[in-house]
Structure formats: C-alpha cells, structure tokens
Amino acid sequence: MISIRFVTQDGEKTELTGDSGSVMELAAQNGIAGIDGECGGVCSCATCHVYLSEEDMQKVDAPSDFERDMLELTEDVQPTSRLSCQLPLTQEINGITLKVAR
Amino acid sequence: MLKSEFPDAFRQARKQVGVEQMDDQNDPVQMVLRFQDVRKCAHNWKTFQSGAEPGRIVVPSEVAIRSIRQIPFEVDPPEHKDYRALVEPWFKRPLDAKYTDKLRLLVDGALDDAFSKSELDVVTEFALPLQSKALTVLLNTPMKEADTWISWGTHVFRSEGEALDSDKANLLYDYLDDEIERALKDPADDLYSLLLSAEVGGKKMTKEEVKGVMILTFAGGRDTVINATTNTIAYFAEHLEALRKLKRDEAAIKKAVEELVRYFSPLTHMGRVATEDAAVCEHAVKNDTRISLCWASANRDENVFENPNDVRLDRQNNPHVAFGFGTHNCLGSTHARQLLRTLIAAMAERVDDIQLLNANNNLEHWGGVTRKVGFHQLTASFSGS
C-alpha cells in the first residue's frame, strides 16, 4: 500500500492509502477538499493541482508536455506544482506530503 | 457523411492565418483560432477583459438587449474572486452521489419516454426537457418549473431566424424578477435564496446582482447542454459498439465525455474586449476592440491533438478547452459533465438500438466560416428496456 498525506488550504491533514490509480483518484474518492479531478484525469481541468516539497520533486517523473503547458497557465502555480491526476501511486512516492493548491 | 460527424470548420483559417475576422452589429470580432493563443488570451484577463459593457463579450453582442451584468462571468479579478467563491460550492454540488442519483432518474424518465414512442425529435422531445428538468436539480427548485422553461423553446435569447430577440429575453427577465420576489418572501433551499442572503465584499447581494447570476445560469446552460445531449445521442446511434463498451465502466465514461465535448465544442467561442493595444499571433488588436476565444477551433488544433477530427473515446491526454480556460472557465461544467456521464451510463445499460431518421443541421455563420454546432431537429427511434 502507498501512503500519501494531504494538507488542504484550511490546514486539514489527512493520510490516505491506496495501491493503484492516481493520486487525484485517491484524493477525490476520499473527499479531499480542493481536489475535484473533474475531467477524470485527461489534463483538461486543473482541479487537482497540488504542491510537492522540493525534495519530493525528485521522486516523481517529470511532467509531460501536456501537463507542463497546463501548469504554465494555471492560477497560483509554483515551481513545485503538479497535477495530481498525472502522479500514479507508486512505491517511489510512498509517504510524501502534498499541499492542495486551492 | 455520418449525421454525427462535425467537420472542423476553422482548419484552413487556423493554419493559414490564425484568426478569422467577423462583423457583429458594427462591433467587429477577431476570432482567435490556435490552441496556445486561445489559452494565453484566456489567461490574460488584464489585457483581454470580460468586465466590459454588459453583453459585449457575447457574440453576437447582447449590448442592445441587456444592461444587467452577468455574474461572475462579466466581472474580472479582483472582484471576480469573491463572486466566484460565493457560487462555486453550489455549482460543485453535482460531485455529490445523491445529485447523480437525481439526474439518473431524469435520464431514465427521458429514455422511458423515448422507448414508448415510435419516433421523436431528440432536440425538443428529449434534450430540451432533460436540460430543463436537470436545471431544477442544479437550482434545487420544484420540478414543475421545468414546464415553464420548456415552453420557452430551445433558445432563451434567440428565436428561429433572429439573432437577438428582446421579447424572449424579457420573458426570462420577468420570470427571474418574479422568482427573486418569491424567494425574498418565502426563502427556500434554492440558489435564489442562497444568493439573496449572501454578502460579497461585506455588502449584501442586490436583486440586480442575483438576477445577473441567474441569467448566466439560465443562458449559459441552455443551448450548450441541449446540443451536447443531442449530439451525444447522434454519435452513439451511429456507434452502438462504442456505447456497449462503456457499459458500467465509470472511468471510461469520464474519458468519453471529455472527448465528446472536445469534438462537439457546444460553445463555439466567447469574446473579450482589449484594454490596451495588443497582438495575437502577429495580428494587431486595438484597444477597446473585441477578440473571441474560439474553443471549437482550438479543440481541433492538430499541433495539440493527434488526429483531431477522430473521436477517440479513450483519448488519454485531452487538454480541451470546451469549458473555456482560466479564471472564467465554465461554472456549470460540473453539472454538464455529470449530466452527460449519467446519460451515457444509462444509455449503455438500457439502449438496444437508436435509428436516426431525419436531421436538420444547426449551422452557425462566423465571418467566412460555417460551422455545424448541433441540430435544429433530429428525429430518431429508440429501442431498449
């Protein structure tokens, strides 16, 4: 099982575990505020925007061109921004903490 | 050509020029056609504003028939943020499972009706009633209100053959005045009452502001939803195998909806007004002139979408702009997505066959371009259980 900790804009901390799918799906299925994943993960809506810590950025693959282009014009973007629909639940990210962007 | 085929009307202009010029009531519009340009202009709300004279960012312009500002649609940041924050939780209610259950009942009712008839017009006998009844779920108002809205026909602002119809607009405005008075006197758990009791920036929402939100809700989700519904039915009538593959596959249905809205792009474009001299792909845009963000063209941009004119229901990367982009992205998209997902889920479970009998295309004319956006009439016969 992969464990991910989410911190919402209100400061609420939730730890969730899952073994397949994406970080967005894990969060949306468990009602994490600010992660709606409205487009279902095709990189069209940016309603799953999260911030990683700088050191955790090394643990995930670089964003695709589609994700990078989307993030470039997303509100409140930061250097450690990612769309969580593009982050698969893998052993590499077990235990990381994500801040929800909105 | 299949009836559910929607050609890319802007291909030549997008590739060769990047913009299409059109006149609209002596207030011309430069339609921005390329994906990256559309997204960049949508993102740049300071230079390309929505908060211009009410009605001016709509194409055709509604300046002549509307003085009330649609909210939050015709308000820019920073004021936009508080209005949007007020209405957003309400418009996210479709994410709740109970909301989907209500939509499913409506869709099942529409299918029951279709199965019971030998043939029907999908636009006026399926899509329009379903859109109207689903709107009662969004507003949380009694279902009987839908009868009134259905009686208005497919366009709230437009009659057949007339771009702008102030009589129709007044029908909606008078109705909304009555509903606002009703909600003031007798508050309920509906959108009117929520807005009337709300404060934005420390000030109570005025009746005119409430009306501005309601006009947006009614107008924005009318022919867009009707076209999306009708076109979806047309598509699956001609691709029944694809429908069967989606049966009880929620993730695949979500992807399918994104692809269908990309392909159909029910709202062709939306305008902005330049606040300074600017340029879009090397074309000058003078201060106080209009551009439009052509979602329909951007969604067929071959530099972004592989085989853009093919419907690939399992398209993995699909950064379409069918619901707009940026600050002013579609407030009703959560509702629209949920309605289309529910429609496809129910059809996949219940429809055996749909025969399309007769189609009268709904063609739009923008500058030198003619675009099919949907149907004026689509007769079909449904079978299923």
Please tell me the distance from the alpha carbon of residue A80 to that of residue A71, in angstroms, as a whole number: 10
- Whether B160 has a pLDDT exceeding 60, the answer reads no
**pLDDT at site B162:** 54
- Please count the CA atoms within 13 angstroms of the CA of A17 that sit on its side-chain side: 3
Tell me whether residues A43 and B317 touch, CB distance under 8 A.
yes
Do the domain assignments include residue B125? yes
Task: Provide the ipTM.
Answer: 0.94
Q: How many domains does chain B have?
A: 1
Biggest distance spanned by C-alpha atoms of chain A: 34
Do the domain assignments include residue B275? yes
**B317 shares contact with chain A (CB less than 8 Å):** yes
The position carrying tokens 């699956």 is B236
Tell me whether residues B318 and A36 touch, CB distance under 8 A.
no
- Which positions ≥6 away from B98 have C-beta within 8 Å? none
Contact B138, B165 (CB under 8 A): no
Contact B287, B272 (CB under 8 A): no
Pair of tokens at residue B221: 């989700």
- Whether B168 has a pLDDT exceeding 80, the answer reads no
**B264 shares contact with chain A (CB less than 8 Å):** no
Tell me, what CATH number does A49's domain have? 3.10.20.30
Pair of tokens at residue B117: 């008839």
**pLDDT at site B154:** 78
Do the domain assignments include residue B4? no
Do the domain assignments include residue B2? no
DSSP 3-state of A10: coil
Tell me whether residues A45 and B254 touch, CB distance under 8 A.
no
Confidence band for B156, pLDDT divided at 50, 70 and 90: low
Average pLDDT, chain B: 96
pLDDT in tens, A9-31: 999 999 999 999 999 999 999 99
Confidence band for A57, pLDDT divided at 50, 70 and 90: very high
Tell me whether residues A64 and B317 touch, CB distance under 8 A.
yes
Q: At B332, which amino acid appears? A: G
* Chain A contact set for B92 (CB, 8 A): 36
Closest Cα in chain A to B324: A45
What is the domain extent for residue B165?
Answer: 11-384
pLDDT in tens, B23-70: 999 999 999 999 999 999 999 999 999 999 999 999 999 999 889 999
- The string of DSSP codes covering B168-179 is HHHHHHHHHHHH
Closest Cα in chain B to A64: B317
What is the domain extent for residue A55?
Answer: 2-100
Do the domain assignments include residue B5? no
**B334 shares contact with chain A (CB less than 8 Å):** yes
Do the domain assignments include residue B78? yes
**pLDDT at site B164:** 63
| A84 secondary structure, DSSP code | G
Biggest distance spanned by C-alpha atoms of chain B: 59
**pLDDT at site B166:** 75
**pLDDT at site B167:** 76
- Which positions ≥6 away from B14 have C-beta within 8 Å? B33, B34, B297, B300, B301
CB pairs under 8 A between A and B: 52
* β-sheet bridge partners, residue A99: A7, A51
Closest Cα in chain A to B313: A42
Distance from CA of B33 to the nearest CA of A (A): 17
- Whether B159 has a pLDDT exceeding 60, the answer reads no
Worst-scoring range by mean pLDDT, A37-41, B169-173, B215-219, B315-319? B169-173
**pLDDT at site B107:** 99
Q: Which of B319, B327, B337 is the closest to A43 by Cβ?
A: B319
Please tell me the distance from the alpha carbon of residue B120 to that of residue A41, in angstroms, as a whole number: 36
pLDDT in tens, B286-313: 999 999 999 999 999 999 999 999 999 9
Tell me, what CATH number does B115's domain have? 1.10.630.10
DSSP 3-state of B279: strand
Work out the end-to-end distance of chain B between its first and last CA atoms, rounded to an integer number of angstroms: 30
Tell me whether residues A38 and B337 touch, CB distance under 8 A.
yes
DSSP 3-state of A76: coil
Distance from CA of A3 to the nearest CA of B (A): 23
Q: Tell me how far CA of residue A89 lies from CA of A27, A53, A84, B16, B236, in angstroms.
A: 11, 17, 10, 43, 34
**pLDDT at site B186:** 97
Q: What percent of chain B has pLDDT over 90?
A: 94
* Chain A contact set for B255 (CB, 8 A): 40-42
User: Burial letters for B347-383: b for 16+ Cβ neighbours within 10 Å, e otherwise?
Assistant: bbbbbeebebeebeebeeebbebebebbbeebbbbbe
* Chain A contact set for B42 (CB, 8 A): 73
Do the domain assignments include residue B348? yes
Q: How many domains does chain A have?
A: 1
Q: What percent of chain B has pLDDT over 70?
A: 97
Do the domain assignments include residue B1? no
